Amino acid sequence: MESGTVSDSISTYLDEMVDVVKSISKADVRAVVERLFRGWREGSTVYIIGNGGSASTASHMMNDLNKMTIVEGASRFRAVALTDNMPYITAVANDIEYADVFVEQLRNLLRPNDIVIAISGSGNSENVVRAATYAREAGASVVALCGPPGSRLCRCADSVVTVPAKSICQQEDGHLMLNHAIALALRERIAATV
């Protein structure tokens, strides 16, 4: 492959990513930060779910929500990535069905004032939609980070941020950027309370 062709594909991807980021609703992101901040004040636990690259983002987000929001003198944020319990995930997938790997964990842990962050590029992953639906029925809030709008997950969430990219890669990049923006904004909000 010629280096000019590689450079062009790199430029195309990055240029498209700039447009994708500009298309994300800042008002929707602020609404998510407000919901998570309210959850922090109420002592809620945030459970984060996703498949594949979104599972990786869920783990990363759990790390950042717990660590990046630490403020001396303030209570700590409570976040758990349900993607990280592989023995339980494989047991449920084997003994029940893969579509229940998150909902079964929520049945053990979720309280009505808790929050579920569901990450899905397609917004139609059955295990993610099933868990979000269960969370709403149990009285918890659901925050969805999706690809383009209109998915099943978007329709069953309380708060939604869409990353309207055609490429799943760019959707996942957008979700990771949202993770950092949300964690940093929460830290700022928490610091202002001390």
Confidence of residue 171 (pLDDT cuts 50, 70, 90): very high
How many other CB atoms sit within 10 Å of the CB of residue 47?
Answer: 26
List CB contacts of 185: < 8 A, sequence separation 6 or more: 29, 30, 33
> What pLDDT was estimated at residue 8?
87
- Per-residue model confidence as pLDDT tens digits over 89-126: 999 999 999 999 999 999 999 999 999 999 999 999 99
Confirm whether pTM is higher than 0.75.
yes
Q: Could you list the residue range(s) of the whole structural domain that residue 104 is in?
A: 3-191
175-188 mean pLDDT = 98
The CA distance from 72 to 120, in Å, is 33
- Any idea what the CATH number is for the domain that residue 169 is in? 3.40.50.10490
Q: Region 69-77: what's the mean pLDDT?
A: 97
Contact residues for 48 (Cβ-Cβ < 8 A; gap 6+) = 58, 59, 61, 62, 65, 79, 80, 81, 82, 83, 116, 117, 119
In the predicted model, what is the mean pLDDT of residues 37-59? Answer: 98
Structural domain total, the chain: 1
Closest CA to 129 of 106, 112, 96, 113: 106
CA dist 125 and 56 (Å) reads 15
Is the four-CA dihedral 175, 171, 143, 85 of positive or negative sign? negative
